[in-house]
Structure 1
Amino acid sequence: MSSAQLSLEEIGKEMCREEWESYTIYSYLASLEKNKENAEKLKRIAEQERKHFEFWRKISRCEPPKVDLKKVKLIAKLLGVQFVLKKMELSEKNAVECYKKIKEMIKDEQLRKELEEILEEEMEHERALMSEVEDPRVKYLGYVALGLADAVVEVTGVHAGFLGATAKHRASGISWSDSGLLRLPLNDRSSLRPS
């Protein structure tokens, strides 16, 4: 259903949920952040998200929803706070686009002015998240993906070669498993040789 078909109150209920969820996540991430400057930045963003919730609460009379942080906690633990912040950056981009559309629906001058302030804060959040210091786990994740892709191509090549040469699925399967197992010790040994 498009935003033009929804009433402002219905949109407000959805925005309440999203803003409260963002507030909860940013507050949680701020509590995990070891860098005091970054923690303060996250607390400031969380407080602004809470203000946005209050704006929508006036319109839709919603209550703070229950937010399940299990997934966020798991991702933060495995991949780090910065990884979750990258996900939140996408959420902020979506919020900016949504607010731009909603702004056109609001006729009341005071509400429109408040919404413009919220829109500016959401764009500030997006800029702040984009400028966050990189976490090595996020920085090198791309390299891990490229390495895995290379491994898949190599193993697939070995498999196809053996299948073409022997025309036997079992031999091809054994070669596939051996290609990875044999390469590890050889690579390790070659790295120890003086150049």
Structure 2
Amino acid sequence: MEALKQQQNEINDFFLYMELSKLQKNKNNKKILQEIALQEKSHYEFWKKITKKDLKPQKWLILMYIFLAKLFGISFTLKLLEKNEEKAEDFYKKLILKYPQAKKIYEDEKTHEIKLLNMLNDQKLLYAGAVVLGMNDALVELTGTLTGIALAFDNAKYVGITGMIMGIAASLSMAGSAYLEARENADSTIEPKKYAIYTGFAYILTTAILVSPFFLIKSAKVALVFMFIGAVVSILFYNFYISVAKDENFKKRVGEMFLITFGVALISFIIGYFVNKYLGIEI
């Protein structure tokens, strides 16, 4: 029964918003989340009168969203919740004729997104630019460099060690540049040290993903394939996060990153191919 399903969603959301409000240090964010939680509870009571059943929250679902909030930030989690709210709106539109009282609930659901968008003050999303800087730079530089080296020298460990050394050195350089950039930035909400840490960490993490196949696989060329798989997964995962958290176009973002990353890799492939063919260098 659809009414029971929606009733379950409402009690889940009530407990979830209350738990998320406890994670908020920002008083305004906390207040709005608690207000929305109480609205969800009133929606639950409405459906309870219709179904004549008392439902308990699904604890596993609530814990999952809390985990996402702690890992990826409140913005990402709330956007995922709002996508479920959009489905609920379609459901309420159909029920307004049968249950006129559902119109008030529908209007509440519509205001949720506006309030949530206005309240978002998420540190993880605030430093998303630093993550983009570190990740993009690592993807572009290392995929291109490792491709060229792997095609010139058929020694996987040599390629992996070279990539690791380059990645660590570049991450420190990028972190330093990010610190100076943030310090000169007029945005007082961004702390230069944190900006530098996010940038350097994103670079190091991306480096680890890209070079690990060269330490696990003997053939440099086979490892190269898995390196590209790691790059693709990284691009898809990060852009999914940003597209949800910032309501941006997922396909457009992915397309741009693919074009830049693999365009540089293609150029490096050509260079590595000619080095290998005409210079005959092999380690």
| TM-score over 0.5 for the pair | yes
Number of matched pairs = 177
CA shift in 2, pair 1:59/1:189, >3 Å:
closer
- RMSD of the TM alignment (CA)? 2.8
Instruction: Name the amino acid aligned to 2:109.
Output: E
Higher mean displacement: 120-129 or 167-176:
167-176
CA shift in 2, pair 1:143/1:102, >3 Å:
farther
In structure 1, how many angstroms separate the alpha carbons of the residues matched to 2:178 and 2:25?
Answer: 36
Q: Is the 8 A contact 1:160 1:172 kept in 2?
A: no
In structure 1, how many angstroms separate the alpha carbons of the residues matched to 2:86 and 2:33?
Answer: 17
Q: CA deviation at 1:11?
A: 0.2
Q: Is the 8 A contact 2:39 2:108 kept in 1?
A: yes
Q: Is the 8 A contact 1:82 1:135 kept in 2?
A: yes
Counterpart for residue 43 of structure 2: 52
Instruction: Name the amino acid aligned to 2:156.
Output: H
Query: TM-score, normalized by length of structure 1?
Result: 0.75
Question: Alignment identity in percent?
Answer: 32
Deviation by residue 1:127-155 (Cα, 9 ceiling, x = unmatched): 11111142222222354145323312321
Deviation by residue 1:41-87 (Cα, 9 ceiling, x = unmatched): 22221111111111211222232223323223333334444443333
Q: Is the 8 A contact 1:30 1:38 kept in 2?
A: yes
2:31 equivalent to 1:40: yes
Deviation by residue 1:106-132 (Cα, 9 ceiling, x = unmatched): 43xxx2x21111100100111111111
In structure 2, how many angstroms separate the alpha carbons of the residues matched to 1:52 and 1:88?
Answer: 16
Q: Is the 8 A contact 1:27 1:43 kept in 2?
A: yes
Which SS does the other structure have where 1:62 is aligned? coil
Q: CA deviation at 1:19?
A: 0.5
Which SS does the other structure have where 2:89 is aligned? helix
Counterpart for residue 85 of structure 1: 78
Which SS does the other structure have where 1:116 is aligned? helix
Query: TM-score, normalized by length of structure 2?
Result: 0.54
- Which of 114, 117, 120 matches 1:130? 117
Instruction: Name the amino acid aligned to 1:116.
Output: K
Where does structure 1 differ by over 6 angstroms across 4 or more consecutive aligned residues?
188-192
Counterpart for residue 13 of structure 1: 4
Which SS does the other structure have where 1:24 is aligned? helix
- Which of 56, 64, 89 matches 1:65? 56
Unaligned regions of 5+ residues in structure 2, if any?
180-283
Counterpart for residue 159 of structure 1: 146
In structure 1, how many angstroms separate the alpha carbons of the residues matched to 2:31 and 2:50?
Answer: 29
In structure 2, how many angstroms separate the alpha carbons of the residues matched to 1:119 and 1:19?
Answer: 12
Query: Within 5 Å, which residues of 2 pair with 1:92-111?
Result: 92-103=85-96, 106-107=97-98, 111=99
